Structure 1
């Protein structure tokens, strides 16, 4: 008889693009209310969970992960420990993360790792919470984690973690232009607040509570890329441009060479270009490659975290 194989569980979870992102006024607790329309896209993180005596994480895949922490501050380890703590699982896990989502690119790769880890460990340990039971744990780990668990298209409000599914039809094609440097999310927000303070006389005061425009909801509901291109918006984009002016040149290049529209995803620095179809996607990739820009292509919406082994 052969030796029994150690059971492993592999789960993949998608990165996301914020096709719409509004930021409310800075509140007394230092946070902002946000209103976002998330679309899960076909760039996946794969997390393999293997039984172990303690908790560890290692990375594989095409992305340079040398800057990533593998200690207890890592979101995947935090997710595994949180599940163990809440369920009394009393076991460890060795996590292997195959990364495909750009790091610090505003695409929720770390959140996808956490969502995939929750689902993988729930299966591995037989803790039986399932997707619905894992959602509150996901929300406590970060605003984008519940979305990576659910996938599809959703409206996020509050701190971004209050999710409601949005009706969506068809498939959208994206070309993602990657930047070498990351942008610090807190710095992008501070730059936005500063800009609003400096120009408070000239701009309409920002409401504390914000919502997703009807136009963007109608665009995803109809599956019409042209309408979505018109409705996309990101309040953080101006701040990202101020910190990294080359992003605005990149956006102009893409929009002048066939993209229906471009947007900084989340706090950047990834720029997501919406294109009409796979042919337009390949053409834009070629243009950006000649300009020395690294790109990835993706389609959305796609489902959330799923077991694949």
Structure 2
């Protein structure tokens, strides 16, 4: 494969995601959980610019609170860039300029979108031409949500969430997302779910987690009303227990016209499904009037892509 210079700077955009359905199995011996998730990529994007450099560096800015986002080798996008360099034997480095719009530690996969964007950007910058399959292999080494940020659209994830199969979704689904000023740690939410299950003697079935057929039928039909009857997140109880104040916002959204509301991923971002764009706008206005930050997004959208 060629390492010829294609351009001096590459811009890649990658979407955040919502978990429309999230079933969590029991904790495994290695401390992880098998899951079944229906992912949908939505129109809230991370942008990454990659340019040639002698070392691996990153700068971070954005419209969201970026405090706590590492600007060193702990950053998932930097790790992604190093993986591509290692894979192709590239001897130089890269500077990544990340502009964030997805809430940090909010359960919408912003860091994973950064990593996916960095994979695509470095592949293009260095003329690697690794191809989709190879990039997905690298993505799976970085975290369960990174492969989906590459893929985009709507997909079913099993195993740790990174075994992906595309799901047919007809039309457009409109959502209003309400970020929280303070993030939640994904490992902490999973650990708290285990505690709650033990306290209430809630065991898992022992069978592998699976997405309910009703979710798939609603997506194929492009029917938000039917989807609202089936969306679910097993992590929601743990997230609400750790952040009780979220419950009143959930109730407000559902009283104010949302077809359904749920915690996105490990939270604390809340996602409200609306029947159409007009209903979503009305809900956004109502929640904003209540003093909440509310964003109208839609899905499905494409995964990480180079922009001209």
TM-score, normalized by length of structure 2? 0.96
Q: Secondary structure at the match of 1:141?
A: coil
Quote the offset at 1:66 in angstroms: 2.8
Mapping of residues 9-28 of structure 1, within 5 Å: 9-28=10-29
Given that residues 7 and 125 in structure 2 are in contact (C-alpha distance below 8 angstroms), is that contact kept between their aligned partners in structure 1? no
Report the counterpart of residue 267 of structure 1 in structure 2.
266
Q: Matched residue pairs, number?
A: 303
Shift of 1:6: 6.6
For the residue of structure 1 that corresponds to 2:229, the secondary structure is helix
2:52 corresponding residue in structure 1:
51
Where does structure 1 differ by over 4 angstroms across 4 or more consecutive aligned residues? none
Deviating more after overlay: 57-66 vs 216-225: 57-66
Shift of 1:61: 2.3
1:64 Cα deviation (Å)? 2.1
Q: Which position in structure 2 is the counterpart of 1:7?
A: 8
How far off is 1:148 after superposition?
A: 0.4
| Partner in structure 2 of residue 239 of structure 1 | 238
**Is 1:169–2:170 an aligned residue pair?**
yes
**2: CA distance between counterparts of 1:128 and 1:300?**
28
What's the counterpart of residue 3 of structure 2? none
In the TM superposition, what whole-angstrom CA distance separates every residue of 1:12-34 from its partner, at most 9, and x where no partner exists? 01100000000001111111100
Equivalent residues in 2 for 1:127-206, closer than 5 Å: 127-200=128-201, 203=202, 205-206=204-205
Provide Cα deviations, 1:30-67, integer angstroms capped at 9, x if missing partner: 11100000000011111110101111111122122132
For 1:60, the equivalent position in structure 2 comes to 61
2: CA distance between counterparts of 1:173 and 1:73?
34
CA contact (8 A) 1:6 1:51 kept: no
Give the RMSD, CA atoms, in angstroms: 1.3
Map 1:222-261 → 2, pairs under 5 A:
222-261=221-260
| CA distance, structure 2, for counterparts of residue 176 and residue 197 of structure 1 | 31
TM-score (norm 1): 0.96
**Contact in 1 for aligned 2:65/2:103 (Cα 8 Å):** no
Q: Secondary structure at the match of 1:294?
A: coil
SS at match of 1:231: coil
Paired residue secondary structure (2:164): strand
The whole-number CA distance in structure 2 between the counterparts of 1:146 and 1:118 is 10
Listed as ranges, the gaps of 5+ residues in structure 2 are 1-5
